[in-house]
Structure formats: structure tokens, C-alpha cells
Amino acid sequence: MLTEKEIKSIKFGILSPDLIRKMSTTAIVTPDVYDENGMPVKGGVMDPKLGVIEPDQRCETCGNKLALCPGHFGSLELARPVIHIGFVKHIYEILRATCRKCGKLKIPEDEIERYLELLSKLRDRWPQLAESLSEHVKRRATKIYVCPHCGERQYKIRYEKPTTFIEEGPLGKLTPTFIRDWLSRVPDRHLKVMGYDPEISHPAWAVITVLPVPPIAVRPSILLETGIRAEDDLTHKLVDIIRTNERLKEAINVGSPEIIIDDLWDLLQYHITTYIDNEVPGVPPAKRRSGSPLRTLAQRLKGKEGRFRNNLSGKRVDFSARTVISPDPYLSINEVGVPVEVAMNLTVPVRVTLWNIDELRKYVLNGPFKYPGANYIIEPNGRRLDLRYNKDLKAVAEALKPGFIVERHLIDGDIVLFNRQPSLHRMSIMAHVVKVLPGRTFRLHLAVCPPYNADFDGDEMNLHVPQSPEAQAEARMLLLVQEHILSPRYGGPIIGGIQDYISGGYLLSSKATYLTKDRVSDLLASINYEGEIPEPAVLAPKQAWVGKQIISLLLPEDFNFAKEAKISSGALKCRDEECFWDSYVLVKKGKFLMGVIDKNTIGAQQPESMLHYVVMEYGPNFGRQFMDRLFKLFLRFIEMRGFTMTLDDISIPSQAYEEIREVFKRALEDVNKAIKLYEEGKLEVTPGRTLEESLELKILEILSRARDEAGEIAVKYLDPFNNVFIMAKTGARGSALNITQMAAMLGQQSVRGERIHRGYTNRTLPFFKKGDIGPEARGFVVNSFVKGLTPMEMFFHAAGGREGLVDTAVRTSQSGYMQRRLINSLLDVIVEYDGTVRTAYGDLIQFRYGEDGVDPKNTSFGKAVNIDRVVKKHVGWKIE
Amino acid sequence: MKKPKQKKTSRKKPKAKPKITKAKEILEKVAEPYHVVSELMSRVGVVQELADEIRKNLLNLYVLRGVTQEEVLLKELTRYNEAALKIREFLEPVKEYIPESIYDEMMLTLFKYYVKHELSDRELAAIIDDCVRTYLQSLVDPGEPVGTVAAQSIGEPGTQMTLRTFHFAGVRELNVTLGLPRLIELVDAKRVPETPIMEIHLSEKYKYDEAKAREVARRIELTTLETITRSADIDLSEMRLFIELDPEMVYDKGVTPDEVAKVLSRGKLLAGKVSISEENPYLIIIEIPRSYSDVIKAQKLRDRLLRLKIKGVKDIKKVILQKRKEQDTGKEYYVLITSGSNLDAVLKIDGVDPRKVRTNSIHEIENVLGIEAAREALMREIKNTLNEQGLDVDLRHVMLVADMMTRSGTVRPIGRHGVVGEKPSILARAAFEVTVKNLFDASIKGETDQIVGVTENVIIGQLAPIGTALVELKMNPTKIKTLVKGEER
């Protein structure tokens, strides 16, 4: 939508006493708020002239009702002026820099002239320098003790927190009245040299003589359930101020002694100080009756819950929904399943035209309670019709004419934004296409879990419906999931296969998989494949196909690719196509010839993988489709074949346990030997370490070697192609270490990178002898998860696990703050049309983005053009 | 890394065969193919850009496959040359669209594939076309919020980092701050890193010999009197201070008692009052001056003396020798790793290769080598910290952060005392951290917020000039209306 009015700039300043009086609708004179009837008192802080609070009232000042009345200021004439706490520092600086008699800046006139000239030159181009020049002038003037204008001798002025100024000379304590006169004596030109703008905010106005009383809308009172009215903190504070002011006025009028007047004056100063800022150091904060400090003006703006961060930088929105998420592999990766209930509450405004009027009539006829319907109609004159309260929907539908706007329910194909907090990168908010589904959760495809960092253990996500056609178009062009498959953090896909997709891909593409015609048909039907079934790979004794043939059907016809698979390691290492182990992936002209699908080919966050090149070379839309179909295929296959993990996969025979025991025994001996050497002082010291540290390092080394050996023994006895190994080797889930811990030995538990040593005096638990520093007494777990842990081992494991939890908790807050600072520092930095990188304020940061002007998103792992890949893309079929 | 190795082995082979021949002969043997090839190349005249590659290929042919006949070599050379010419011809029309680095890389890569696999003209054209298109498509779009993307790209992996402060980074002997704390330290532009560390390479003379390397290490490592002292007693009756040195430590640090005595008597205070005991060469006797005659003062003097620097560089607490292997020759050499950092002083130490001294203190680099070096160091340190945790972040993001921090000419932290605090916008600063003070200061100075940045526009509910909202050309609906009406008429 076109913004008709634009705010070009905002000027900050101080209200002058005159202006305060001028904009005041009523003078506030009495501390009373309500009379006996509970009606607001005229001249009190709730004076009706300050604005309406009841819905049907008309404002005494502007005549508007609640929705339109902006509220109006009142004013309070102070009996004696007080200092504004926010400006004390500036007042202090001006007092010190100017003459106590003539009020002029203590610098000769001709030099002031020079400074002014310099300043006007600097102001526009180098505002920062102008500021430091002013600071310099002030500092220079402060050091002068004889006024160059009138020759008056100057005295040092002392500032006493929070609001007292004392001259170390004949005047002594300076009253606000005196300060105000002094400040008004300073010539405007001299103020300008010091960096102030007397026309907008004359420093003399920093001494308050008239206090503006904010409109009631700023400090609404709330009606408690008990019927008692509770006033806002500001109102309370204002009443305090008025009461003190009245007493002060009275005291002056009756000619009370100075001490009493001064006391009251100080009290007024205190109230006004806390009214402005209740957290001034040195001032006891004003408290509520309950004892909690009041939330006054400064507190309303400050901090995370303050106006700025909570209401201005972040705003609450309509057309949004939030619920639990759950997986649905049958969706496309760019779809989101929306519950009907949600779809009936979120609406999209559609302008009625001749072409859609029939369809929209149907929605209106259905009304708000029947899906798919409509909730509101907006007539061209701006009138909003709520269909919930309309009995005659038929008539409304009939009356529909081009130009009306119908707010219809969310339907399949609508575009929405989907988000999961914490929104750490731009992939945390992506556009999805709506698919309305039964149930009460948002459904999403599993492949988009990595960018959102989502799982389904109770995670909730938010959904927003863009309303304007511009926003919808932008979402479709820029924010759709497929546009974010490639991450801008590094050149590679962030969306891709995870867990079962990888296991499934491996099993399907494996050499051992042969498929009958039934199965092939089943698989191809699951992805709605239309076309010929390829020639079977095996003709006799029975027709059979291999998985690679099926996968080939999905690959682009001219696609060439070659890379080592993830499983290519150890005995199964394959470096090129001449390899027996089938762990070198080779695709020529769209035919999957060799190798297996695993994390290196289709995994998420794997740069330079098959998936990466498919998306880069055939575009995001093809990439999306490719993933949808491929993943559905893998899932269908894994469903057909069945895939699980059993106890057998990680159980080893008792013979293996014997061996592991033997390994541990040897390690124990080694450790004891080291300890003995240590006790005799013969242990070899690692340079730069103490003897104790050297021993610890040595023991840790021995023990970790023991665990590795135990792991190797376990692996020896396990079937290398069992379910657990398939998952670990293909990168679907788990690692070799996990297998070791499950089957063989958990190993050393640590806290802060050291063996566990705290607890009781000289021992970790009372089951050990004092001073025992052997493996078991310091948190070494000999057993595996399968075998089960002893109570002591369980305790150590818990200690180690707890550290992990604490670590995560601390880390999130620290990295969160770092990211907030990074974002706030860099958020204005963009690439300009000329290719330079600048801030919004015009400061040049880089002549060319990243020195080569290349967007990392479009690179392959940082390289703008991967020439090798381009060559292989075109002729890979004949050179590999 | 692999390529030079292959080159080396290929040239070495003939060197290995004739075992007993004299050195001169060997040299000739090696030189011969090189001369032959060079001679041939100069006779034919090759495409300059690929001369090195062609020579390499020919040498391979000569040395590895034993092809020595001139005709064959010449034939091959012509084939290479023709290939090179062809590629150059094909690349000529697109030269102006791509940067030089990509042009050079294309030349080389295409040549390699061409001579090995015989690409057809059509294929060659298609590949070049695709390369150029890929390059042009990879350029950033105007309006791209690169700042936000950079901040996210560095901030997001922060959640995945370990918090554990200490890790052994390469050296087992020293702990180094790594992971998230180090990253925060870098963006904060802290004056002194939590664990300052230096890596010092030595000059040719010193680097291969352990004793010599240790000698330099001793020159660098800070030795205070305390470290080489076994005991320091005050004799109150005679007002003398006995400092007994530890012979082992004295030897280890490479000093002599004489030197120590000299250093001690250097100051005005103790001049002429330091002597070495005649019975024990490791006992230094100091006469306590009058002005320090009471017990407490004497003790203070002793403590002060113990902290005195005998030799070495200030702030360098520990120096560790590390053995490394040169990549191409396989020769072993020594590198010094220090705990504590003092770049300025270390650069001046004799035996140090000043081009290969490294510190992790950004601030010192800024002071000694200047802001550009500091920027480079920031980039390197941030990138290394991330890489060490196994996190991939494109260098361009790191570069932008480093540029932002160093653009004012000094290293400024990311945050309210640095980059954010220097923003011209009042609202942007107020929305970040010190809300109230910023607002008060702005109002008494009568400042104006121009509402150009993202934060300010978000605050007042307008579109920020970023991305698609950067476009200023807009349709004027009223004008369209009059235009349409005009047409109707």
C-alpha cells in the first residue's frame, strides 16, 4: 500500500514554560482526585478536560469520543522552580563554562566567533566532530577563572548528587531559581557554541517552572473486581507533587521561616525527580504501599519490557495463530497443514470483481461458522459488516458488488508466514502454502525441521497471514521455503534429508536391494509417477529392478555427478569409480550408476552434495519438487521394508565382555603404574604443566584409549550391516561413539573437562577410600548402557549430564545477547545500487560486497563459480 | 597442497636412479629435461598465461614417461599450444564480464580438461557460457540486507558452540580461550584477550637447531628474580639481604649470577651495594640502604626486588618450543609458542622472523601494525574460532563485521560503546540499550532524528529503505486516473 504521509524526521527538544501553558487545557490546582460522589474533581489530576476515559462520553475539550480523543495536557504551576533530573549533567557543565555574573561563555568573543564558524561547517558533514568540538570548548571554558568579558572572578562549582549545586565561593548553595536566571543570562550564540539549540530547547527550560500534566490516557486507572478504583503510578506521583506544591505555596504565602520553605522545596524536588526517573542513584525510590517501587516515566521507556523494546521495536499483530506442531511427510516441503479451526479464524481480504464474485458469494453464504466461509465484509464506504451477527446471509451475498471486500477464510493455496522462535536467522520465518487439514496442530514436512530447528516434543510455532497483495506477492517471490533451501551462511543447502530419509535412501539404493514389479509399481505410485517403467535390471529367474533405477527416474536427464559417499571409509573406502564397495556415487546423464544415497548426497547442511547441485542448477522450484518426490519415495520404501533398532543390534556376546574386561584391567594397571610413578615423583612432566596436571592428562589418555579399544571389540562382534550401523555409517543418526557407549563402555564422565573429583572430603562418594584417585573413584564408567550402570556410575553419569544442561542454559543467554548486539550494529548495512556496501546513514563500509560482490547464498561453498563443477555438469558423463 | 608435492616427486625421480654419480652429474640430469623443454617452448612460442602449465605437462612427459624424442615433444607442445590458443579465443568475448581471478582459473581448468579429454567446440562454448552466467547470477542484488545476514550468520552458530572456556589448541601445554567466550571477546574488541598467546617463527639461523631456538626462547621469556631465587632472607642485624639463587633455574633460564647482580645494581638505589658471596657463587648479598632501615620497609624492598625483570620481554609469561615439519622439504624446525603477548617487543628480538610472528591480541596488532592489519587479524581470529568448532560461515560475513568494527580507524566493539553507540539516530540508540539517557541528551541539544535507518522506521511504522522497500520509483495513482480519463475521452 502506498504510504500517503511520511514522517521525514523527528525533532527532540524541551517544552518551554510558555508552550506548556499554551498547550494546557486546564490548570491543575488541587490534590483531590474524586469528590464524594466518585466524580473527578475539576482542577484535579483526573479533570475531564484531560480527555475521556468512558466509552460513550464526549470529551470536554475536543468533543470526540474515546476512540478519537487523543487526550490533552494540563499544567501545574510550581511555587518554586526545580531542576529536571535528566538534565543535571548539562546544567552543571553550562554553569562551569559560563560566567557567574554576566552569564557569558568564558572564552573571548573573537574566538567564539571562530568556533561558531567552524561548528557550522562541521555540523552537516561531521556531526560527531561537531559534538567533540563543543565538548572541547566547554572543557576549555571551565578551566578559566577570570571572565574575559566582565573580568569577574570565578569560583569552582561543586555538584552534589542528585540535584544540588554549590559554589565554593560567596554564593554557597545555588537555588534552582538562581540557576534558572543564570542559564537565561547565557547569550544564545554562546549556547550554540556549546552544542545547544536555544530556540528548540533552551537550557534554562531544564529548570522546571511549569509541570505538564499528561492526559489521562497515559495513566488510566483500572477498576478492580472489588469495585475499587486503582490509580496509575503516575497519578499517585502527580498527586504527591500537587500536595507538596500546595504546601510550599501556603508556606511562602504565610511567610514561614526559610528552613521550612527549603525543606518543602527539597521535598518537591524529590517528588518531581522520582516522577521523572525512579532509579536515580542517590535518591531513595518512591514506593507503592506494597513496598514495590513505582514505575514512573523513565521506567516506562527502559529495558526489555519498556516502551521502546516492547511496543515500538516489536509490535503485536492480528491475523496470526500459534499451536503445537507435528510432522506430516505427505505434505510438500513448502506446505503447512493448518487446522480447520485456525483457518476459520484467520482471514484474507479479497476485493470483489466480476470474475470472482460467484466464488465469494459462496463464501459469504457459508458465513463465519461453516468452512470455507467469510467473517467480514467491507463495503466501499468503509463500513464493516460482521457476518457473525447477520441473520440473513443470503441477502448479504446478493448485495455483494464489485468493489466490496470479503474477508474470507484461509483456504488451500493461500500464502502464510511460518515462524519458530528463537528467530536466529532468516530461515526462521519462511512462507508456506496453506493446506487446511483436520486436527488441531500445524503440520510440516520433516525436511524443514533443520532451518527452524524444530522437533515435535511439544514445540509450538506461529503463523501469520499477509493481507495486502503486495505482501502476498513478496512472500511468494522471496520467502517461500524453496527460496531458502540454500543457506546464506555458507554456500550449501540447509534443507535436505534427515534421519529416516537417509536410511531409506541408503537401503533403496543399496546393491542388495532388488524390487519386484509389484514393489516398483507401489513405489512409483507413491510419488504419482507417470511414465514408463524402465527395463528390469534382472530378467531371470524373475524380473527385478534395483533401487538405483527408480531413483534415476527422478533425476534430471542431463545431470552428472560424482562424489564419495559418506559410508566410504575404512574398509569400504572408494576413491573413484573403479571400486568394488559401491561407496562412490556416480550419476551420468541422469542415470544413477553407482554408489549409495546417504548423508553426503542428500543430507541437510551438506555443501557440494547432489542435492546442492540439483537446486543450484535446476532452480529452487525443481529442487523442491525433487525433494518432495525423492523423500516420499524413500519413506515409502522404508515403510515397505521396515526399519527399526533392536537390542540385538547393540548386544555383544559374553566373550566380548571378557575381552573388554581384560582391556579395562590393563588400563587399570597402567593407571596404577602412573599413580605410583607420580607418588614417587618420577612421572614425566608435560612441559608447562604441574605434576598433578600431567598425571591427570596421562590417566585421561589411558582411559580414553581403553574406551576406544572396548568400542573396537564391540564393533568386531556386531554385524556391520545391522540397523544401528546403517544409521551411524550413512549419517542418518548416531555415531560410532554412541554405539560404543551402548554396546561396550560408557567411558570417562567429566565435569569442566576434568575427571569428577568434588563431593566429600578427598573423595567423590562415601563408597570410596579417601584419597583414591583410581578410575572408578573418579567417574569412569566401565559398563555399557546395555549392561546397565552401577549406582555409583549412574551418579557420575548424572553429574556429567547435568553439566551439559547447565551449559546449554548459560550459553543461550550469552549467545542471544551477542547476536542482539551484532544485529543492532549491522542491521542498517545494505548493498546500494552502485554495488557498494553502506549504512542507511550513508557511511561507506565496503566498496564491493565481500571484495568480489558475490552473494554467499549463490556460491558453492564460498566459490562464485566452481569451474570444475561446471565442466563436470556438462561433460561429466564422459570424463568420470 | 597436493599439486606441488606431485611436482616435486616427478622431478626427483631421475635424481634417485643413478646412485653413485657425482652431484654435478645429477644436477645436469635434472637440468637437462628442463633445458630441452624450455628450448622447445621458446622456439615455438607458447600462450603466456598457460606457459607454466604447459611446461609442467611436457616435463611430466619427458621425465615420467621417458619421452625424449624431440619430434614427439614438439608435437605434444603444439597440441598444448593449440588447445591454449583455442581456449583463449573462446574466452576472449566474455573476458570483460568476469573478474581476472575467475578468468585465470577458467583458463587453467579448461586447459587441463581439454588436453585430457578432448572437449568439442560446442561443449567448450557451453561450459564457458555457463560459467559466465553462473558468475553473473551469483552477484548480490542491490538492497540486499547484507548486514543483517552477516549478523545472523555469525550469531546463529553461537548457539551451537560449546561454552567450555578452555581447550588445548594445538599445544597441549597451554590453555586457550575458544568457542563462544572467545567470539564474544573478539566482537567486544577487548583490550587484552583472556589468554594472550603468540606464535613466533624464527629466522633461518635459529629455526632448525633446538639449542639455538631455546636461546631465542630465553631471550623472550620473562625471567624475574623470583623465578630463579631459592630463598631471600633479610639479616636485620647487619641490614643485609641474602638472595640465594637456584642453580638449576639459573641454568635453565640462561643467566649467570654475575648478570643478575649487574641487573640488580643498575638502579641508583642499589648501585655499589650488590656483591656476590665468596663462598657461594649463587648467593647474592645486598646491603639495604638507610632509607629502608625498618623491617616492614625492608620487606617491601625485598618483594619489589623479587619482581624485578632480569631478562626477557614484558608480559611473556611462558615460552614453549614446538617441533614442526616443513611441508615441502620435510625438515624439522622449531616454533615458539608463548603465553602472554607483546608484539612490539618480540618483533625487535634478535633471531625472530618478524614476518612470521603471530599474536591473538587484536589491540596490539592495531597499535603496532595499523588498522588494516587489525582488520585482517579480526577476520582471521573470528573465522578460526568458528572453524575450530566445526561451523561453516562464509568469509564475507566475517569480513563485513570486521569492516564495521574497524571503519572509524580504530577497533570499535560491537555494542553500545562502539558501533551502535556511534549511530547518528537517537531512536536507534534508545531502542538498543541506554534508552533514557539518549533521549534526555537528544532533547537538551535539540537533536533531530532523520528516520533513515531500519530501527527508526520500524518504530514509527514505516517501511525501512531496505530490500524491496529501497525502490523509490512508485506509481502515482491520481496521475493514472487522469491518464485513464484522458484516454476515455
**Cell (9 digits) for B100:** 581476472
> What is the nearest CA distance from B444 to chain A, expressed in angstroms?
6
| Of residues B147, B400, B451, nearest to A10 (C-beta) | B451
Instruction: List the single residue in A with minimal CA-CA distance to B118.
Output: A879
pLDDT at A557 over 60: yes
Q: Name residue, grid cell 591427570.
A: A696
Place B18 in a pLDDT band, splitting at 50, 70 and 90: very low
The mean pLDDT value for B470-486 works out to 77
For testing contact with chain B, the best of A134, A197, A821 (most B CBs within 10 A): A821
Rounded to whole angstroms, the Cα distance separating A783 from A252 reads 87
Rounded to whole angstroms, the Cα distance separating A303 from A123 reads 31
Rounded to whole angstroms, the Cα distance separating A813 from A97 reads 45
Q: Within 10 Å of residue A126's Cβ, how many Cβ atoms?
A: 12
Closest CA to A233 of A225, A40, A241: A241
The mean pLDDT value for A732-755 works out to 87
* ∠ Cα A778 A784 A789 (to 5°): 60
Task: Evaluate whether A622 touches A631 at the Cβ level (below 8 Å).
Answer: no
Which element (helix H / strand E) includes A323? strand A320-327
3-class DSSP state of A206: helix
Kindly state whether B318 is in contact with chain A, defined as any CB-CB distance less than 8 angstroms: yes
- The residue count of chain B comes to 489
For testing contact with chain B, the best of A870, A878, A880 (most B CBs within 10 A): A870
The mean pLDDT value for B153-163 works out to 83
CA distances from B374 to B74, B274, B370, B381, B410 (A): 52, 45, 6, 10, 9
> What is the nearest CA distance from A370 to chain B, expressed in angstroms?
35
Interchain pair A195, B427: CB under 8 A: no
Kindly state whether B431 is in contact with chain A, defined as any CB-CB distance less than 8 angstroms: yes
Rounded to whole angstroms, the Cα distance separating A442 from A435 reads 10
| Of residues A306, A822, A828, nearest to B454 (C-beta) | A828
Interchain pair A488, B153: CB under 8 A: yes
Cβ neighbours for A491, distance < 8 A, ≥ 6 positions apart: A607, A856, A857, A858, A859, A860, A861, A862, A863, B394
Rounded to whole angstroms, the Cα distance separating A367 from A373 reads 5
Which residues, in sequence order, are bridge partners of residue B234? B241
B210-244 pLDDT, tens digit per residue, is 888 888 888 888 888 777 888 777 777 777 778 78
From chain B, pick out residues whose CB is under 8 angstroms from the CB of A865. 98, 102, 105-106, 131, 134-135, 138
Task: Evaluate whether A862 touches A490 at the Cβ level (below 8 Å).
Answer: yes
3-class DSSP state of A545: strand
pLDDT at B302 over 50: yes
The region, left, alpha or beta by phi > 0 then psi within -120 to 50, assigned to residue A769 is: beta
> What is the nearest CA distance from B321 to chain A, expressed in angstroms?
9
Task: Evaluate whether A69 touches A62 at the Cβ level (below 8 Å).
Answer: yes
Interchain pair B454, A827: CB under 8 A: yes
Percent pLDDT > 90 in chain A is 36
From chain B, pick out residues whose CB is under 8 angstroms from the CB of A199. 446
**pLDDT, position B7:** 42
**Cell (9 digits) for A858:** 549463490
Q: Residue B107 CA to chain centroid, in angstroms?
A: 30
A83-113 pLDDT, tens digit per residue, is 999 899 999 999 888 888 888 888 888 888 8
pLDDT at B262 over 80: no
ipTM of the complex: 0.88
Cβ neighbours for A734, distance < 8 A, ≥ 6 positions apart: A724, A727, A728
State the burial class of residue A785 (Cβ atoms within 10 Å of its Cβ: 0-12, 13-18, 19+): middle
Instruction: List the single residue in A with minimal CA-CA distance to B164.
Output: A752
Whether the predicted model's global pTM rises above the 0.80 cut = yes
Q: How many CA atoms lie within 13 A of B475 on its CB side?
A: 7
Interchain pair B173, A853: CB under 8 A: no
Interchain pair B164, A807: CB under 8 A: yes
Q: Within 10 Å of residue B100's Cβ, how many Cβ atoms?
A: 8
From chain A, pick out residues whose CB is under 8 angstroms from the CB of B159. 422, 424, 811-812, 815-816
Rounded to whole angstroms, the Cα distance separating A591 from A588 reads 5
**pLDDT, position A244:** 92
Residues 136-165 of chain B whose Cβ lies under 8 A from any Cβ of chain A: 137-159, 161-164
**Cell (9 digits) for B363:** 589491540
Interchain pair B392, A492: CB under 8 A: yes
Domains observed in chain A: 23-72+214-299 (4.10.860.120), 84-205 (no CATH), 320-493 (2.40.40.20), 500-641 (1.10.274.100), 647-806 (1.10.132.30)
**pLDDT, position B10:** 43
For testing contact with chain A, the best of B334, B386, B396, B419 (most A CBs within 10 A): B396
Place A338 in a pLDDT band, splitting at 50, 70 and 90: very high
Find the range with the poorest average confidence among A259-273, A373-387, A845-859, B76-90: B76-90
**pLDDT, position B457:** 92
Which element (helix H / strand E) includes B51? helix B51-59
Rounded to whole angstroms, the Cα distance separating B263 from B281 reads 16
**Cell (9 digits) for A182:** 543564570
Place A880 in a pLDDT band, splitting at 50, 70 and 90: low
Place B30 in a pLDDT band, splitting at 50, 70 and 90: low
| Of residues B153, B164, B404, nearest to A489 (C-beta) | B153
Cβ neighbours for A160, distance < 8 A, ≥ 6 positions apart: A166
A307-321 pLDDT, tens digit per residue, is 888 888 888 999 999
From chain B, pick out residues whose CB is under 8 angstroms from the CB of A826. 147-148, 150-151, 400-401, 404, 419
Rounded to whole angstroms, the Cα distance separating B86 from B91 reads 9
Interchain pair B453, A839: CB under 8 A: yes
**pLDDT, position B16:** 47
The mean pLDDT value for A835-864 works out to 89
- The residue count of chain A comes to 880
Instruction: Indicate the pairing of strand A837-838 with strand A844-846.
Output: antiparallel
A541 preceded by a cis bond (ω within 30 of 0): yes
Cβ neighbours for A306, distance < 8 A, ≥ 6 positions apart: A299, A300, B435
From chain B, pick out residues whose CB is under 8 angstroms from the CB of A850. 394-396, 399-400
Burial A257-277 (b: 16+ CB within 10 A, else e): eeeebeebbebbbbbbbbbbb
Task: Tell me the count of A-B CB pairs closer than 8 A.
Answer: 340
> What is the nearest CA distance from B260 to chain A, expressed in angstroms?
24
3-class DSSP state of A514: strand
The whole-chain average pLDDT of chain A stands at: 88
Q: Name residue, grid cell 493448518.
A: A338
| Of residues A752, A856, A875, nearest to B119 (C-beta) | A875
> What is the nearest CA distance from B425 to chain A, expressed in angstroms?
9
